[in-house]
Amino acid sequence: MAIPKFAEIKQYIISSIESGEWEGSARVPSENQLADLFTCSRMTARRALTELTDSGVLERSQGLGTFVAGCKSQSSMLAIRNIADEIKDRGHGYSVQQWVLEQVAASTSIAISLGLERGAKVFHSILVHCEQGLPLQVEERFVNPELVPDYLLQDFTLQTPHEYLSQVAPLTEAHHTIEAIIASAELQQRLEIPATEPCLQILRRTWSRQGVVSFAKLVHPGSRFKLGGHLTFSK
């Protein structure tokens, strides 16, 4: 079965980048050039460029054209996406290591974050999400067992916690804080980074209609990750 033209164009661009033919900041063919090359409409070419731009593979500049993004993986500050989908959308391989999946007593700070009493039982997981075999994110998550009673029964090598929680406790609200940190020795080992490398840490609480579902600490190595976003304002 033939794949859609826009998907062909995406594969062509990703292959050109991964082969080293197009390096970071290299200008990619225009919509018109791609349309001629693949014998398709300009709208089809635009869709391919737009999807690769949204996933952080390309960067578009008004009046200048479209360029290969820098080597760091990019996520949006304005949306909460599944990290596995973000990596796959860049045309890269995704893998995950599940380090911890257990029940623990909530510390004071975790109890406050989840709206529970100190010492209450909560579910705790630690996973390392990898892109092209390299650790991109350590995800440590605390989950309210009253809202997600089967959390510990899941195999998070098959689906991410984000995917699972989106199914059983759909997101209605989220709050996050972003800060630069120096990782602990344990995080350095899991991220495979030197002690001197700065990291980006995102602290995120999520709610469903029933209350606070989870509190997550997401840590990324600074050399492999960046955050971005785009806002459009009506006139």
- The letter for the amino acid at 152 is L
For domain 73-227, give its CATH number from 3.50.50.60, 3.30.470.20, 3.40.1410.10, 3.40.50.300.
Answer: 3.40.1410.10
Angle at 196 between CA 228 and CA 76, to 5 degrees: 10
**Do residues 226 and 74 make contact, with C-beta atoms less than 8 angstroms apart?**
yes
**Do residues 28 and 10 make contact, with C-beta atoms less than 8 angstroms apart?**
no
CATH 1.10.540.10 fits 5-68, yes or no: no
What is the pLDDT of the chain when averaged over all its residues? 87
Q: Please name which of 76, 5, 199 lies closest in space to residue 85, comparing C-alpha atoms.
A: 76
pLDDT of amino acid 228: 56
Confidence of residue 233 (pLDDT cuts 50, 70, 90): very low
Element (H, E) at 13: helix 5-18
pLDDT of amino acid 155: 96
What token pair was written down for 160? Answer: 């991410």
Each residue's pLDDT tens digit, 9-65: 988 988 888 777 888 778 899 999 999 999 999 999 999 998 888 767 788 877 788
Is residue 226 predicted with pLDDT exceeding 70? no
Each residue's pLDDT tens digit, 109-155: 899 889 889 899 999 999 999 999 999 999 999 999 999 999 999 99
Confidence of residue 227 (pLDDT cuts 50, 70, 90): low
Each residue's pLDDT tens digit, 168-217: 998 888 888 889 999 999 999 999 999 999 999 999 999 988 889 999 99
Task: Give whole-number Cα distances, 186 to 4, 42, 83, 180, 181, in Å.
Answer: 45, 50, 22, 17, 14
pTM: 0.68
Q: What are the extents of the domains in the chain?
A: 5-68, 73-227
pLDDT of amino acid 79: 60
